[in-house]
Amino acid sequence: MRRYSDLELIAAIRASHSWRGVLRALGLSATSAAAMRSVRLHADRLKLDYSHFTGQRRWTDQQLVEAIASGTSWTQVAEALGLAGGSSTTTIRGHALRLGLDTDHLAAPKRSPTPIGLMRPRQVNLARAGSLLAAAWFELCGHSVSWPLEPCRYDLLVWTGTTAERIQVKTTTVKQGTTWTVWISNSGKERTTYGPDEIDQFFVIDGDFDYYLIPVAAVGGLMAIQLSAYRGYRLTRDAC
């Protein structure tokens, strides 16, 4: 049985800014979920307006409505409500959703995606992508690829059954006449060549994105090579 009248409930709602405040005004426990449900049911029965409730907020639903209507971004809305940064935007978005407010004009303009036809591999990214391209080729051919955990002379370890080959990946964007020049030495202060005790094969990618798989024995300690002289090592689509 209720311990308060409808008139007392009306007065409590008018004087309070949260349901807990209403419970306290009526002499009820502010932490009782059952009491809060009962009070809300009676408020709805009487069709009482409690849109001024803010709970722990410092702004009302009406202020949010006005801020959203006049704002051009969520940041402006937050500033209009005296909020700034942090999770405030997430909070007011949630309240806007609860109130069913139109917020389409606050959304940041979407960037138009690059048309697929305009997406092309770029030479400037080749050095960074070289090892990934090589690993993908070996995996597509059904070989397992391992990456060294520590810096060493090879870039990839490629497994063919129980045998592993050490692969050094090289890329080039230097073209001289009709051929590509690729350095097959290391890129330190003092260039040194790779020996058969360090690697087994070079995986080379040129600026046309053609692939070559060249045994270290075929380049015999050279610092650089012209790929036109190694066409026999160029990989084709069915080279696996």
Domain that holds residue 197: 124-233
Residue 124, Cβ density class (10 Å: 0-12 exposed, 13-18 middle, ≥19 buried): exposed
Q: Is residue 115 part of a domain?
A: no
Rounded mean pLDDT of 183-206?
Answer: 88
Q: Which residue has the higher pLDDT, 232 or 123?
A: 232
Residue predicted with more confidence, 114 or 64: 64
- What pLDDT score does 49 carry? 85
pLDDT tens per residue, range 44-80: 899 988 777 766 677 788 888 999 999 888 888 888 8
Average pLDDT, the chain: 87
Query: Are 168 and 90 part of one and the same domain?
Result: no
The owner of tokens 């060294």 is 148
Q: Is 176 part of any domain?
A: yes
Rounded to an integer, the average pLDDT of 89-103 is 87
Q: For residue 109, what are the CA distances in angstroms to 47, 105, 132, 217?
A: 41, 9, 34, 57
pLDDT of residue 36: 85
Confidence of residue 86 (pLDDT cuts 50, 70, 90): low
The answer to whether residue 133 scores a pLDDT higher than 90 is yes
Quote the tokens at residue 209.
Answer: 């994105």
pLDDT digits (tens, 9 = 90+) for 14-31: 988 788 888 889 998 878
Q: What separation, in Å, do the N-terminal and C-terminal C-alpha atoms of the chain show?
A: 84
* Residue 1 pLDDT exceeds 80: no
**Are 10 and 102 in the same domain?**
no
Q: Among residues 56, 55, 69, 129, which one has the least CA distance to residue 104? A: 69
Single pTM value for the model:
0.53
Does residue 112 form part of some domain? no
**Residue 57 to residue 47: CA distance in whole angstroms:** 23
Number of other residues whose CB lies within 10 A of the CB of residue 32: 13
Q: How many domains does the chain have?
A: 3
156 and 192 inside one domain: yes
Q: What is the rounded distance in angstroms from the CA atom of residue 48 to the CA atom of residue 209?
A: 72
